[in-house]
Amino acid sequence: MLKTQERADPPARQLDHRRRRSLRAKKEQRAAYLFLLPWFVGLAVITLGPMIASLYLSFTDFNVTQAPRWIGIQNYVQMFTTDPRYWKSVEVTLTYVLVSVPLHLIFALGFALLLNQGLRGLAFYRSLYYLPSLMGTSVAIAILWRQVFGASGLLNDFLGIFGIHGHSWIGDTGSAIYTLIALNIWTFGSAMVIFLAGLRQIPADLYEAALVDGAVWRQRFFHITIPLLTPIILFNGILNIISAFQAFTSSYVVSNGTGGPADSTLFYTLYLYQQGFTQFHMGYASAMAWVLLVVVGVCTGLIFATSSRWVFYYGNK
Amino acid sequence: MLAHIGLILGLIIMLYPLLWLLSASLRPANEIFTAKGLWPGTFRWSNYTDGWYIFSDVTFGTFFANSFLIAIGAIVGNLLSCSMAAYAFARLQFRFKGVLFALMLGTIMLPYHVLVVPQYIAFLHLGWINTFYPLIVPKFLATDSFFIFLMVQFIRGIPREMDEASEIDGAGFFQIYRRIMLPLMLPALATTAIFTFIFTWNDFFTPLLYLTGTEHWTVPLGLRSFLDIEAKSSYGPMFAMSVASLGPIFGFFLASQRLLVRGIATTGLK
């Protein structure tokens, strides 16, 4: 109907119509750029500009008061070959990421599964489990953690019931990092809420069909639940890895800015802060930041690249 | 039944430290490190006033006021700039849209530390150290891309007939944004506002960098400096101020749990 009408239009009117359409498109484009103006400025001034600047600074010796002095790759060489504290911070951060992220996800998924069994009081449990996630990155909780894992803290009170005499978990180089890992795991509630939302998307008839086929709980879990949750596992995993690499407040507050005892809680970002903002080795800090960017980029890149093998999108394929 | 027992046990372990904190904030110092159980033997309410006035030159009232001021600035900034960008990305056609959208998504994953040194130097040259500008101005430039993404997703769920109808009625793009989009986006805007508040309130790193003078400190900075006060008598006041600092977060939690849970379920914000 429309087509015949258009064809019936005299050529002049058609041209007019087209011109009006392109005028509208132009107006739309101009409007779009206006709406995006703050974002453009932010991208240039707050994000991309500083990124380029920090790449440049990473090849310089720069202490804020004097102009940056070009030293080539010396910061990187020093970092990788002659700075034991740098490698310590890498070790601490990798331990933190590799231990806390999987446990965080396992707890989140475990409790999401428990909550997804049609129990009464779901909203109540869900909210309260979520509460620590809102507070977990605050200084108040880090201060609390100093006490919980201190020599006369909550954990030792609890262990005392069983006749175990604890020591200061925060003062011990072997256990200090695990107190911070415990803090990260404590905030599993937000990942749990996301898992719960995902679990509710799984069509019930899949389970019914599996039940008819005589699948036991374990089979239903590994052949239905886990595959259908893989997109959410991917999402939660990436989110947690990125934030774990950048953890700062807890180690700063718990160790009072030192990363101690004996650098056992010296997170990468804390060392970067010390280098850049207490010793004013800004070039060195920039080089550290770029290595962090590359590592986080490679990690997420690898996960995305392998995801086509293990992430399953229901209904898409 | 077994599931309930497990869930309640889990909850007790999760929430016990918070209850302990509340109880410690009301105890005299000698009791904090010796007493067992949650109920204070003697209630020492003065921990709260002692903590409030612990610094000779400023009170925690100043820190709370500063924190609120920065949070409100950040909220207004994020709501305005992110909703504008989101409207353009979700509804309007323009050149390089695909590339720019990908760029916007990419910045979500960018570690803040790559930007921090040059930003610090730039703000130093602008004379913005020890002012609130470094904490508020970037929010007006839509730098929290996560919220743009959240709003884009939300707008995509709004039927296009809504804006097409008003366009036929002669409304311009700005009017559509102002009269149609913003009112319909209210749930997404509320989620953004609440999460911006919580992030800003908890933020420690940025204030640590930029706010050097005590009179400009935020609550987290005030709390942290308790750790430099060696006196044992400051433990009660320190825990009291810790509780006070969690108060607004808890308040938002109680007032908007549903929205918070929905916000996190759909977007994965923390």
Q: Taking CB atoms and an 8 Å cutoff, what residues of chain B touch A32?
A: 88, 92-94, 97, 173
pLDDT at site A187: 96
End-to-end CA distance of chain A: 37
Q: How far apart, in whole angstroms, are the C-alpha atoms of residue B270 and residue B267?
A: 9
Q: Assess contact for B260 and B194: CB atoms under 8 A.
A: yes
* pLDDT over threshold 80, residue B88: yes
Both structure tokens of B81 = 């700039």
Distance in angstroms (rounded) separating the CA atoms of residues B213 and A299:
39
For residue A260, give the 3-state DSSP assignment.
Answer: coil
Among A216-225, B72-81, B103-112, the range of highest mean pLDDT? B72-81
Q: What is the pTM of this model?
A: 0.92
pLDDT above 50 (res A91):
yes
Nearest Cα to B104, choosing from B85, B87, B117, B91? B85
CA distance A247 to B268: 18
Among A116-120, B52-56, B124-128, B227-231, the range with the most confident prediction by mean pLDDT is: B124-128
pLDDT of residue B270: 52
Interface contact flag, B264 A194, Cβ < 8 Å: yes
Across the interface, whether the CB atoms of A42 and B119 are under 8 A apart is answered no
Q: Tell me whether residue A164 is exposed, middle or buried, using C-beta atoms within 10 angstroms of its C-beta: 0 to 12, 13 to 18, 19 or more.
A: exposed
- Distance, in angstroms, between A249 CA and closest chain B CA? 7
Distance between CA atoms of A220 and A226, rounded to whole angstroms? 9
ipTM entry? 0.93
Best of A30, A34, A35, A193 to disrupt the B interface (most B CBs within 10 Å) is A35
Tokens of B203: 């933020």
pLDDT tens digits, one per residue of A251-308: 999 999 999 899 999 999 999 999 999 999 999 999 999 999 999 999 999 999 999 8
Instruction: Using pLDDT thresholds of 50, 70 and 90, give the confidence band for residue A196.
Output: very high
Q: Are B267 and B146 in contact (CB under 8 A)?
A: yes
**pLDDT 10s digits, B139-191:** 999 999 999 999 999 999 999 988 888 888 888 999 999 999 999 999 999 99
Other beta carbons within 10 angstroms of residue B262's beta carbon come to 15
pLDDT at residue B269 in the model: 59
Q: For residue B49, what is the enclosing H or E element?
A: helix B46-52
Chain B residues within an 8 Å CB radius of A130: 257, 260-261, 264
d(CA B173, CA B163): 9
Which residue type does A171 have? Answer: G
Q: Please give the C-alpha separations between residue A98 and each of A92, A242, A245, B73, in angstroms, as whole numbers.
A: 10, 12, 10, 37
Encoded tokens for B106 = 């990419």
- Residue A99: what pLDDT? 98
Question: Has residue B19 got a pLDDT over 60?
Answer: yes
**Sign of the CA dihedral running A44, A45, A46, A49:** positive
* Closest CA–CA distance from residue B198 to any residue of chain A (Å): 7
The secondary structure of A66-86 as a DSSP string is: S--EE-TTHHHHHHHHT-HHH
Residue B100, chain A, CB below 8 Å: the answer is yes
pLDDT bin (cut points 50, 70, 90) of residue A2 is very low
* pLDDT of amino acid A316: 55
Q: Residue A317 has what pLDDT?
A: 42
Judge whether A236 is closer than 8 Å to chain B, CB to CB: yes
Burial B127-143 (b: 16+ CB within 10 A, else e): ebbebbebbbbbbbbbb
Q: Where are the beta strands (DSSP E) in A225-284?
A: none
* A129:B24 CB<8 A: no
Per-residue pLDDT at A57 exceeds 50: yes
In angstroms, how far is the first alpha carbon of chain B from the final one?
31
Residue labelled with tokens 């974002």: A39
- Cα distance between residue A185 and residue A145, in whole Å: 13
Nearest to B81 by CA among B132, B135, B139: B139
- CB nearest B268 (choices: A119, A194, A285): A194
